[in-house]
């Protein structure tokens, strides 16, 4: 149980285009979803948190107009990187959690999406 998927697993795009990444909790309903960014050989940096049907809460320094988050249902959240630039290249990981997690408030992570912007 507690499986979270991400799609796509990797994406290469041209500078200036927008990229959408999907995160799905497959076997439980996630009241809260989180989006992280991970640079090579570094830890995870929380970008934003969202509850289903609510606007996302962004961490300090994260541009909300650049990284659009939509938590449309209890099993789906999307991250759209708008007008991507090479500095947005990174490994993006989502997690699902909240009070309805198999272990309450515990986050279960997706496999990550590697984004390369040329």
Partner 1 sequence: GEDVEQSLFLSVREGDSSVINCTYTDSSSTYLYWYKQEPGAGLQLLTYIFSNMDMKQDQRLTVLLNKKDKHLSLRIADTQTGDSAIYFCAEIYFSGGYNKLIFGAGTRLAVHP
- Round to whole Å and give the CA distance between 107 and 30: 9
Minimum CB distance to partner 1, residue 45 (Å): 9
In what helix (H) or strand (E) does residue 30 lie, and over which residues does it extend?
A: none
Give min distance, CB of 33 to partner 1, in A.
10
13 within 8 A of 19, measured Cβ to Cβ = yes
- Choose between 110 and 115: whose C-beta lies nearer to partner 1: 110
Check binding of 106 to partner 1 (CB under 8 A): yes
How many whole angstroms separate alpha carbon 98 and alpha carbon 83? 31
**Interface contacts to partner 1, rule CB under 8 A:** 2, 4, 6, 32, 34, 42-44, 46, 49, 57, 93, 95, 97, 103, 105-112, 114
């Amino acid at each position: 149980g507690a499986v979270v998927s991400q799609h796509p697993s990797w994406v290469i795009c041209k500078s200036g285009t927008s990229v959408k990444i999907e995160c799905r909790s497959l076997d439980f309903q996630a009241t809260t979803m989180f989006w992280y960014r991970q640079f090579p050989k570094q830890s995870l940096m929380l970008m934003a948190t969202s509850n289903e049907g609510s606007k996302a809460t962004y961490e300090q320094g994260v541009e909300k107009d650049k990284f659009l988050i939509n938590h449309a249902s209890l099993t789906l959240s999307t991250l759209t990187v708008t007008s991507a630039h090479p500095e947005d290249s990174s490994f993006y990981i989502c997690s699902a959690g909240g009070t309805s997690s198999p272990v309450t408030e515990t986050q279960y992570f997706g496999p990550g999406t590697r984004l390369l912007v040329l």
